Structure 1
Protein backbone atom coordinates (compact mmCIF):
# COMPACT_ATOMS: atom_id res chain seq x y z
CA UNK A 1 0.00 0.00 0.00
CA UNK A 2 1.27 3.45 -0.92
CA UNK A 3 1.47 5.76 2.10
CA UNK A 4 -0.14 9.19 1.79
CA UNK A 5 2.23 12.08 1.32
CA UNK A 6 2.74 14.18 4.43
CA UNK A 7 2.59 17.93 4.06
CA UNK A 8 5.19 20.40 5.25
CA UNK A 9 3.73 20.09 8.74
CA UNK A 10 4.60 16.37 8.79
CA UNK A 11 1.05 15.03 8.75
CA UNK A 12 -1.05 13.68 5.92
CA UNK A 13 -4.16 15.81 5.65
CA UNK A 14 -7.26 13.84 4.78
CA UNK A 15 -10.15 15.80 3.28
CA UNK A 16 -13.54 14.36 4.12
CA UNK A 17 -16.10 15.77 1.72
CA UNK A 18 -19.75 15.10 1.12
CA UNK A 19 -23.20 16.55 0.91
CA UNK A 20 -25.25 17.45 3.95
CA UNK A 21 -26.26 14.61 6.25
CA UNK A 22 -23.84 12.13 4.69
CA UNK A 23 -21.83 11.31 7.82
CA UNK A 24 -18.71 13.50 7.42
CA UNK A 25 -18.53 14.62 11.04
CA UNK A 26 -19.27 11.19 12.48
CA UNK A 27 -16.61 9.64 10.26
CA UNK A 28 -14.03 12.36 10.96
CA UNK A 29 -14.38 11.98 14.70
CA UNK A 30 -14.26 8.17 14.52
CA UNK A 31 -11.15 8.23 12.33
CA UNK A 32 -9.37 10.61 14.70
CA UNK A 33 -10.11 8.24 17.59
CA UNK A 34 -9.05 5.18 15.61
CA UNK A 35 -5.76 6.75 14.47
CA UNK A 36 -5.05 8.52 17.79
CA UNK A 37 -4.97 11.97 16.29
CA UNK A 38 -7.16 15.04 15.96
CA UNK A 39 -9.79 16.17 13.52
CA UNK A 40 -11.03 19.56 12.41
CA UNK A 41 -14.79 19.95 12.86
CA UNK A 42 -16.79 21.81 10.25
CA UNK A 43 -16.72 25.50 11.19
CA UNK A 44 -20.01 26.12 9.37
CA UNK A 45 -21.88 24.37 12.19
CA UNK A 46 -20.39 26.76 14.74
CA UNK A 47 -21.10 29.74 12.47
CA UNK A 48 -24.79 28.79 12.19
CA UNK A 49 -25.07 28.23 15.95
CA UNK A 50 -23.33 31.48 16.89
CA UNK A 51 -25.15 33.67 14.36
CA UNK A 52 -28.49 31.80 14.53
CA UNK A 53 -28.77 31.99 10.75
CA UNK A 54 -27.51 30.40 7.60
CA UNK A 55 -24.53 32.12 5.99
CA UNK A 56 -24.92 34.79 3.38
CA UNK A 57 -22.84 34.99 0.24
CA UNK A 58 -20.48 37.52 1.82
CA UNK A 59 -19.83 35.11 4.72
CA UNK A 60 -18.50 32.28 2.55
CA UNK A 61 -14.88 33.39 2.23
CA UNK A 62 -14.60 34.01 5.98
CA UNK A 63 -16.06 30.59 6.73
CA UNK A 64 -13.58 28.87 4.40
CA UNK A 65 -10.68 30.95 5.72
CA UNK A 66 -11.56 30.09 9.33
CA UNK A 67 -11.88 26.40 8.43
CA UNK A 68 -8.41 26.44 6.86
CA UNK A 69 -6.88 28.38 9.78
CA UNK A 70 -8.25 25.80 12.21
CA UNK A 71 -6.88 23.04 10.03
CA UNK A 72 -3.43 24.67 9.99
CA UNK A 73 -3.50 25.03 13.80
CA UNK A 74 -4.60 21.40 14.29
CA UNK A 75 -1.78 20.17 12.04
CA UNK A 76 0.69 21.18 14.78
CA UNK A 77 -0.80 18.67 17.22
CA UNK A 78 -1.91 15.94 14.81
CA UNK A 79 -0.19 12.56 14.77
CA UNK A 80 0.43 11.11 11.29
CA UNK A 81 -3.01 12.11 9.97
CA UNK A 82 -5.25 15.14 10.24
CA UNK A 83 -8.87 14.43 9.39
CA UNK A 84 -10.57 17.52 7.95
CA UNK A 85 -14.36 17.60 8.09
CA UNK A 86 -14.91 19.59 4.88
CA UNK A 87 -12.68 22.04 3.00
CA UNK A 88 -12.92 25.28 1.07
CA UNK A 89 -13.85 23.23 -1.98
CA UNK A 90 -17.20 22.36 -0.36
CA UNK A 91 -17.78 25.98 0.65
CA UNK A 92 -17.18 27.03 -2.95
CA UNK A 93 -19.49 24.30 -4.23
CA UNK A 94 -22.29 25.47 -1.95
CA UNK A 95 -21.69 29.05 -3.12
CA UNK A 96 -22.28 27.87 -6.67
CA UNK A 97 -25.44 26.04 -5.60
CA UNK A 98 -26.97 28.96 -3.66
CA UNK A 99 -25.68 32.06 -5.47
CA UNK A 100 -24.62 30.65 -8.84
CA UNK A 101 -21.11 32.05 -8.41
CA UNK A 102 -17.99 31.81 -6.26
CA UNK A 103 -16.21 34.82 -4.82
CA UNK A 104 -12.68 35.17 -6.28
CA UNK A 105 -10.99 34.87 -2.87
CA UNK A 106 -12.99 31.76 -2.04
CA UNK A 107 -12.19 30.26 -5.44
CA UNK A 108 -8.51 30.82 -4.72
CA UNK A 109 -8.75 29.01 -1.37
CA UNK A 110 -10.71 26.15 -2.96
CA UNK A 111 -8.06 25.79 -5.69
CA UNK A 112 -5.46 25.03 -2.98
CA UNK A 113 -6.96 21.58 -2.31
CA UNK A 114 -3.64 20.23 -0.95
CA UNK A 115 -4.68 17.01 0.72
CA UNK A 116 -2.90 13.65 0.73
CA UNK A 117 -6.23 11.84 0.42
CA UNK A 118 -9.74 12.94 -0.43
CA UNK A 119 -12.61 10.87 0.89
CA UNK A 120 -16.21 11.40 -0.20
CA UNK A 121 -19.08 10.18 1.96
CA UNK A 122 -21.93 8.70 -0.05
CA UNK A 123 -25.41 10.01 0.74
CA UNK A 124 -26.65 6.48 1.37
CA UNK A 125 -27.90 6.80 4.94
CA UNK A 126 -31.16 8.40 5.99
CA UNK A 127 -31.37 12.17 5.51
CA UNK A 128 -31.86 13.92 8.84
CA UNK A 129 -32.89 17.55 9.34
CA UNK A 130 -30.43 19.65 11.34
CA UNK A 131 -32.06 22.96 12.12
CA UNK A 132 -30.94 25.75 9.81
CA UNK A 133 -28.10 23.86 8.18
CA UNK A 134 -29.80 21.22 6.05
CA UNK A 135 -32.15 21.54 3.10
CA UNK A 136 -33.60 18.25 1.84
CA UNK A 137 -32.85 14.84 0.40
CA UNK A 138 -33.10 16.33 -3.10
CA UNK A 139 -30.47 18.98 -2.34
CA UNK A 140 -28.26 16.35 -0.73
CA UNK A 141 -28.33 14.19 -3.87
CA UNK A 142 -27.74 17.20 -6.16
CA UNK A 143 -24.75 18.38 -4.10
CA UNK A 144 -23.31 14.87 -4.14
CA UNK A 145 -23.50 14.76 -7.95
CA UNK A 146 -21.96 18.24 -8.23
CA UNK A 147 -19.16 17.27 -5.85
CA UNK A 148 -18.21 14.21 -7.89
CA UNK A 149 -18.36 16.25 -11.11
CA UNK A 150 -16.15 18.95 -9.56
CA UNK A 151 -13.56 16.48 -8.31
CA UNK A 152 -13.48 14.72 -11.68
CA UNK A 153 -13.20 18.02 -13.59
CA UNK A 154 -10.31 19.14 -11.39
CA UNK A 155 -8.55 15.79 -11.59
CA UNK A 156 -8.71 15.25 -7.83
CA UNK A 157 -8.52 11.57 -6.98
CA UNK A 158 -11.00 10.48 -4.34
CA UNK A 159 -12.37 7.41 -2.65
CA UNK A 160 -16.13 7.11 -2.31
CA UNK A 161 -17.11 5.65 1.07
CA UNK A 162 -20.43 3.88 1.38
CA UNK A 163 -22.30 1.93 4.00
CA UNK A 164 -22.58 2.35 7.73
CA UNK A 165 -19.80 3.70 9.95
CA UNK A 166 -18.03 0.35 10.52
CA UNK A 167 -18.01 -0.30 6.76
CA UNK A 168 -16.60 3.16 6.08
CA UNK A 169 -13.92 2.73 8.74
CA UNK A 170 -12.85 -0.56 7.12
CA UNK A 171 -12.68 1.15 3.70
CA UNK A 172 -10.44 3.89 5.10
CA UNK A 173 -8.27 1.33 6.90
CA UNK A 174 -7.68 -0.37 3.53
CA UNK A 175 -6.33 2.96 2.26
CA UNK A 176 -4.32 4.05 5.29
CA UNK A 177 -3.42 0.75 6.86
CA UNK A 178 -4.08 -0.34 10.40
CA UNK A 179 -3.68 2.28 13.12
Structure 2
Protein backbone atom coordinates (compact mmCIF):
# COMPACT_ATOMS: atom_id res chain seq x y z
CA UNK A 1 0.00 0.00 0.00
CA UNK A 2 1.23 3.47 -0.90
CA UNK A 3 0.13 6.56 1.04
CA UNK A 4 0.93 9.98 -0.42
CA UNK A 5 1.21 13.17 1.60
CA UNK A 6 0.66 16.36 -0.36
CA UNK A 7 0.36 19.96 0.74
CA UNK A 8 1.64 23.49 0.45
CA UNK A 9 4.78 24.54 2.27
CA UNK A 10 4.78 24.57 6.06
CA UNK A 11 1.63 22.48 6.40
CA UNK A 12 3.23 19.69 8.42
CA UNK A 13 3.81 17.01 5.76
CA UNK A 14 7.16 15.85 7.12
CA UNK A 15 5.99 15.81 10.74
CA UNK A 16 2.89 13.87 9.76
CA UNK A 17 4.91 11.37 7.71
CA UNK A 18 7.12 10.70 10.73
CA UNK A 19 4.17 10.45 13.11
CA UNK A 20 2.29 8.05 10.82
CA UNK A 21 5.37 5.89 10.35
CA UNK A 22 5.94 5.67 14.09
CA UNK A 23 2.30 4.86 14.84
CA UNK A 24 2.04 2.15 12.18
CA UNK A 25 5.34 0.58 13.24
CA UNK A 26 4.08 0.43 16.83
CA UNK A 27 1.28 -1.78 15.50
CA UNK A 28 3.88 -4.20 14.08
CA UNK A 29 3.25 -3.12 10.49
CA UNK A 30 6.09 -3.01 7.97
CA UNK A 31 6.50 0.67 7.07
CA UNK A 32 8.85 2.39 4.65
CA UNK A 33 8.98 6.19 4.79
CA UNK A 34 10.18 8.08 1.73
CA UNK A 35 11.35 11.56 2.66
CA UNK A 36 11.16 14.58 0.38
CA UNK A 37 14.00 14.43 -2.13
CA UNK A 38 13.74 18.15 -2.89
CA UNK A 39 14.84 18.98 0.65
CA UNK A 40 17.87 16.71 0.30
CA UNK A 41 18.69 18.18 -3.11
CA UNK A 42 18.54 21.77 -1.85
CA UNK A 43 20.75 20.95 1.14
CA UNK A 44 23.39 19.41 -1.15
CA UNK A 45 23.29 22.05 -3.89
CA UNK A 46 22.60 24.99 -1.55
CA UNK A 47 20.04 26.39 -3.97
CA UNK A 48 16.62 25.62 -5.43
CA UNK A 49 16.31 23.67 -8.70
CA UNK A 50 16.23 25.31 -12.11
CA UNK A 51 13.44 24.61 -14.57
CA UNK A 52 15.39 21.90 -16.40
CA UNK A 53 16.20 20.15 -13.11
CA UNK A 54 12.58 19.73 -12.02
CA UNK A 55 12.05 16.45 -13.89
CA UNK A 56 15.04 14.91 -12.12
CA UNK A 57 13.52 15.89 -8.77
CA UNK A 58 10.17 14.34 -9.69
CA UNK A 59 11.62 11.13 -11.10
CA UNK A 60 14.00 10.57 -8.19
CA UNK A 61 11.17 11.03 -5.70
CA UNK A 62 9.10 8.38 -7.48
CA UNK A 63 12.06 6.03 -7.97
CA UNK A 64 12.55 6.00 -4.21
CA UNK A 65 8.88 5.22 -3.65
CA UNK A 66 9.02 2.30 -6.07
CA UNK A 67 12.21 1.01 -4.44
CA UNK A 68 10.40 0.36 -1.15
CA UNK A 69 10.51 -3.22 0.16
CA UNK A 70 7.74 -5.39 -1.21
CA UNK A 71 4.79 -5.75 1.12
CA UNK A 72 5.56 -2.63 3.14
CA UNK A 73 3.26 0.32 3.71
CA UNK A 74 4.91 3.22 1.93
CA UNK A 75 4.45 6.70 3.35
CA UNK A 76 5.68 9.24 0.81
CA UNK A 77 6.46 12.75 1.98
CA UNK A 78 5.38 14.32 -1.33
CA UNK A 79 5.17 12.83 -4.82
CA UNK A 80 6.00 14.10 -8.34
CA UNK A 81 2.70 15.98 -8.19
CA UNK A 82 4.24 18.55 -5.86
CA UNK A 83 7.12 19.08 -8.27
CA UNK A 84 4.63 19.62 -11.09
CA UNK A 85 2.71 22.16 -9.01
CA UNK A 86 5.81 24.17 -8.18
CA UNK A 87 6.92 23.99 -11.81
CA UNK A 88 3.64 25.66 -12.66
CA UNK A 89 4.01 28.26 -9.90
CA UNK A 90 7.66 29.18 -10.37
CA UNK A 91 8.29 28.57 -14.08
CA UNK A 92 4.78 28.59 -15.60
CA UNK A 93 5.70 25.11 -16.84
CA UNK A 94 3.04 22.41 -17.22
CA UNK A 95 5.31 19.84 -18.87
CA UNK A 96 5.42 17.63 -15.74
CA UNK A 97 1.65 17.50 -15.21
CA UNK A 98 0.95 14.34 -17.24
CA UNK A 99 3.90 12.43 -15.76
CA UNK A 100 3.04 13.51 -12.23
CA UNK A 101 -0.61 12.46 -12.52
CA UNK A 102 0.32 9.14 -14.11
CA UNK A 103 2.68 8.35 -11.24
CA UNK A 104 0.31 9.63 -8.58
CA UNK A 105 -2.34 7.18 -9.75
CA UNK A 106 -0.09 4.44 -8.36
CA UNK A 107 -0.83 5.57 -4.81
CA UNK A 108 -3.68 3.97 -2.87
CA UNK A 109 -4.40 6.84 -0.50
CA UNK A 110 -3.73 10.57 -0.80
CA UNK A 111 -3.74 12.87 2.21
CA UNK A 112 -3.70 16.63 1.64
CA UNK A 113 -2.48 18.65 4.62
CA UNK A 114 -4.69 21.64 5.39
CA UNK A 115 -3.61 25.26 5.73
CA UNK A 116 -4.53 25.58 9.40
CA UNK A 117 -0.94 25.43 10.73
CA UNK A 118 1.09 28.58 11.18
CA UNK A 119 3.65 29.24 8.43
CA UNK A 120 7.26 28.75 9.58
CA UNK A 121 10.40 29.72 7.68
CA UNK A 122 12.57 26.74 6.72
CA UNK A 123 15.51 27.74 4.55
CA UNK A 124 15.62 27.50 0.75
CA UNK A 125 12.39 25.54 0.42
CA UNK A 126 10.14 28.23 1.86
CA UNK A 127 8.80 30.88 -0.51
CA UNK A 128 6.31 32.58 1.79
CA UNK A 129 2.90 32.29 3.35
CA UNK A 130 1.37 34.05 0.33
CA UNK A 131 1.94 30.99 -1.92
CA UNK A 132 0.20 28.47 0.30
CA UNK A 133 -3.34 29.07 -0.94
CA UNK A 134 -2.41 29.11 -4.66
CA UNK A 135 -0.37 25.91 -4.24
CA UNK A 136 -3.19 24.24 -2.30
CA UNK A 137 -5.62 25.20 -5.06
CA UNK A 138 -3.41 23.83 -7.82
CA UNK A 139 -2.99 20.51 -6.00
CA UNK A 140 -6.75 20.17 -5.66
CA UNK A 141 -7.34 21.11 -9.28
CA UNK A 142 -4.88 18.55 -10.62
CA UNK A 143 -6.24 15.77 -8.43
CA UNK A 144 -9.86 16.61 -9.17
CA UNK A 145 -9.37 16.95 -12.92
CA UNK A 146 -7.72 13.51 -12.98
CA UNK A 147 -10.44 12.02 -10.73
CA UNK A 148 -7.84 11.07 -8.13
CA UNK A 149 -9.47 10.89 -4.67
CA UNK A 150 -7.96 12.65 -1.68
CA UNK A 151 -8.71 13.38 1.96
CA UNK A 152 -7.88 16.67 3.70
CA UNK A 153 -6.19 16.49 7.11
CA UNK A 154 -6.56 19.29 9.66
CA UNK A 155 -5.63 19.71 13.31
CA UNK A 156 -2.37 20.09 15.20
CA UNK A 157 -0.14 17.62 17.00
CA UNK A 158 -1.82 14.40 18.07
CA UNK A 159 -5.16 15.54 16.67
CA UNK A 160 -3.67 15.88 13.18
CA UNK A 161 -2.28 12.35 13.44
CA UNK A 162 -5.62 10.98 14.63
CA UNK A 163 -7.44 12.73 11.79
CA UNK A 164 -4.95 11.28 9.30
CA UNK A 165 -5.49 7.78 10.72
CA UNK A 166 -9.24 8.34 10.46
CA UNK A 167 -8.87 9.20 6.77
CA UNK A 168 -6.66 6.17 6.13
CA UNK A 169 -9.07 3.85 7.92
CA UNK A 170 -11.95 5.08 5.76
CA UNK A 171 -10.18 3.78 2.67
CA UNK A 172 -8.37 0.81 4.22
CA UNK A 173 -10.62 -0.88 6.82
CA UNK A 174 -8.16 -3.76 7.19
CA UNK A 175 -5.60 -1.30 8.56
CA UNK A 176 -8.17 0.02 11.03
CA UNK A 177 -8.42 -3.49 12.45
CA UNK A 178 -4.65 -3.92 12.66
CA UNK A 179 -4.37 -0.55 14.39
CA UNK A 180 -7.10 -1.67 16.81
CA UNK A 181 -9.20 1.29 15.79
CA UNK A 182 -12.95 1.07 15.17
CA UNK A 183 -13.95 1.36 11.54
CA UNK A 184 -14.98 4.98 10.97
CA UNK A 185 -18.59 5.90 10.33
CA UNK A 186 -19.79 6.62 6.82
CA UNK A 187 -19.83 10.35 7.58
CA UNK A 188 -17.91 12.42 10.09
CA UNK A 189 -20.06 13.48 13.03
CA UNK A 190 -17.67 15.54 15.15
CA UNK A 191 -17.19 19.31 15.40
CA UNK A 192 -15.86 21.10 12.33
CA UNK A 193 -12.67 22.27 13.99
CA UNK A 194 -11.55 18.68 14.58
CA UNK A 195 -12.95 17.24 11.36
CA UNK A 196 -10.81 14.59 9.71
CA UNK A 197 -13.29 13.99 6.92
CA UNK A 198 -12.11 15.74 3.79
CA UNK A 199 -15.09 14.61 1.75
CA UNK A 200 -17.26 17.59 2.64
CA UNK A 201 -14.69 20.09 1.46
CA UNK A 202 -13.64 17.80 -1.37
CA UNK A 203 -17.17 17.63 -2.73
CA UNK A 204 -17.66 21.39 -2.46
CA UNK A 205 -14.38 22.10 -4.21
CA UNK A 206 -15.09 19.55 -6.95
CA UNK A 207 -18.47 21.11 -7.65
CA UNK A 208 -16.86 24.55 -7.91
CA UNK A 209 -14.23 23.25 -10.35
CA UNK A 210 -16.86 21.61 -12.53
CA UNK A 211 -19.25 24.56 -12.28
Please give the TM-score of this superposition, normalised by the length of structure 1. 0.86
Aligned pairs (5 A) from 1:26-175: 26-36=15-25, 37-73=31-67, 75-76=68-69, 79=72, 81-103=73-95, 107-113=98-104, 114-174=106-166, 175=168
Q: Larger relative CO (CA 8 A, sep 6+): 1 or 2?
A: 1
Q: Which has the larger radius of gyration?
A: 2
Corresponding pairs, count: 165
How far is the alpha carbon of 1:156 from its aligned partner? 1.0
Tell me the distance in 2 between the aligned counterparts of 1:23 and 1:77.
Answer: 27
Contact 2:116/2:155, CA 8 A, preserved across alignment:
yes
Tell me the distance in 1 between the aligned counterparts of 2:162 and 2:147.
Answer: 25
Q: Which residue of 1 aligns with 2:188?
A: none
Tell me the distance in 2 between the aligned counterparts of 1:40 and 1:103.
Answer: 24
Q: How large is the RMSD of aligned CA atoms in angstroms? A: 1.6
Bigger helix fraction: 2
Residues 90-147 of structure 1: CA deviation (Å, up to 9, x unaligned): 111110111111335x632442211100000002111011111111111012111211
- Segments of 5+ residues of structure 1 without an aligned counterpart are 1-11
Residues 2-38 of structure 1: CA deviation (Å, up to 9, x unaligned): xxxxxxxxxx100100001100000001101111122
Contact 1:23/1:121, CA 8 A, preserved across alignment:
yes
Please give the TM-score of this superposition, normalised by the length of structure 2. 0.74
